[in-house]
Structure 1
Amino acid sequence: MEVQEILKTNSIANRFITQLRDVNIQTDRMRFRRNIERLGEIMSYELSKELEYKIKEVSTPLGKSKISIPKNELVICSILRAGLPLHQGILNYFDDAENSFISAYRHHPENNEKFEILVEYLASPSLEGKTLILADPMLATGRSFSNVLKALEPMGKPEKIHLVSVIGSTEGIEYLKSEFPENSKLWIATIDQKLDGNGYIVPGLGDAGDLCFGGKLQH
């Protein structure tokens, strides 16, 4: 699996990541969601350079013009609930894509730091022969992406898989390299080196779902 880290090159994306991490700014939920959405747009632009293209002729008021447009059949799949703003950012650029939604969350059966990833909801079109874009802002252990991929298997085999994430860990990325097809590609804004004892990214930014939408009762 190839990895493309956006912040390896300085750009306006640096500002959005800075605001996402900053405890004095991230309490503004609207700005937090919008910054994730913006990063989804930036990574979608970069991803678009690797799609397949076909020539289309269009009529202008003064004549004809030929231009290359993407020909891939895209399906955007976001992992609920934190993936929703990232999904919107990707959809802003690939507005004719089909859409898939899946739930994946950490379940602590023994009420301690040990957890399992549960997938309980899936709504998806066929993925057979299409280009699948999997979106989740936080790539910690990598197990959410891996479990989602397994849950999507009955939907068909995509021709190509792109993963889009905002912040990931080195450990999680290495895990995904053994779980996803070799021709998959990860688009990620920035990579942190550590996970803490609870499997959260350090320094990371906290719980993206809670920062987007508010806290939740545990079960």
Structure 2
Amino acid sequence: MALPSNVHLSQHPCLRAKLSRLRSKQTHVREAKILVHEIATILGCEALASTLTAVDGPKPEEVSLVPILRSGLGMVEAIQALLPEPVPVHHLGLYREPSTLEPVEYYNNLPNHIGPSGAAQSPSKLAVILDPVIATGGTCAAAIQTLREWGARRVLVLSVIGASDGVARAANEWPEGVDVWLAGLDAELTATGMVKPGLGDIGDRLFLTVGK
């Protein structure tokens, strides 16, 4: 399917090689964490170079990171390391209700954060969603809407892999305010809403809880 114009699929050869390793069932769960970090670093370089150098683009101090719990935590360190100064990290907890596959929010810490001077600041101009997998797109779309209501002027989504329909759903949630950057794209979902062939349960792989 044709993807929306605000979706960007990386063609970086090193990234694609690392994604191939991450897809493999033979890749040890410990290595998966390293690969997600490395993929996030390459993808973040491409996405932030485009976003932060755009006309009227936000300055680094106007950026915040928003990992989607829990798998998004695996991308935070990589993106923090790319920025010249530390930025706030706000967490969103969302899960998919098993019968409907629709998102349910269970955690949100998006108050007006306190800056270095101790004064309350307005919402970040650029909120960067970190979510390794976009499947149905419902969770990502819900996060985008939450950040829009919070007051973010733009949202940048960084994801390791997504399913075509889900990525389109997320990108179309706020077309003029969102850019989605992906390392890989798959065409299908399983009956249980997992990307096919995808990466398996990336949260379990990142936190070594496979078979829990």
Q: Displacement, 1:129?
A: 5.2
Task: Report how many residues are paired.
Answer: 194
Match of 1:149 in 2: 144
Label 1:184 to 1:150 Cα distance change in 2 as closer, same or farther (>3 A): closer
Q: Displacement, 1:44?
A: 1.4
Match of 2:134 in 1: 139
Match of 1:14 in 2: 16
Give runs of aligned pairs for residues 1-219 of structure 1, distance below 5 A.
2-6=6-10, 9-25=11-27, 28-52=28-52, 70-71=59-60, 73-94=62-83, 95-108=85-98, 113-126=99-112, 128=123, 130-153=125-148, 155=150, 157-215=151-209
Per mean C-alpha deviation after superposition, the further-off stretch among 36-45 and 123-132 is: 123-132
Deviations along 1:151-197, one digit per CA (max 9) or x if unpaired, are: 34553x21221100001011102212331232411110011011121
Structure 1 runs not aligned, ≥5 long:
54-69
Q: Distance in 1 between matches of 2:191 and 2:87?
A: 38
Instruction: Name the SS for the 1:121 alignment partner.
Output: strand
Per mean C-alpha deviation after superposition, the further-off stretch among 40-49 and 174-183 is: 174-183
Structure 2 runs not aligned, ≥5 long:
54-58, 113-121
Q: Which runs of 4+ in 1 moved over 6 A?
A: none
Label 1:216 to 1:2 Cα distance change in 2 as closer, same or farther (>3 A): same
**Alignment-mate amino acid for residue 32 of structure 1:** A
* TM-score of the pair, normalised by structure 2: 0.82
Instruction: Judging by fraction of residues, say which structure has more strand.
Output: 1
Q: Displacement, 1:212?
A: 1.0
* TM-score of the pair, normalised by structure 1: 0.79
Deviations along 1:96-150, one digit per CA (max 9) or x if unpaired, are: 2211111111222xxxx53332111112353635111011000001001112233
Instruction: Name the SS for the 1:118 alignment partner.
Output: strand
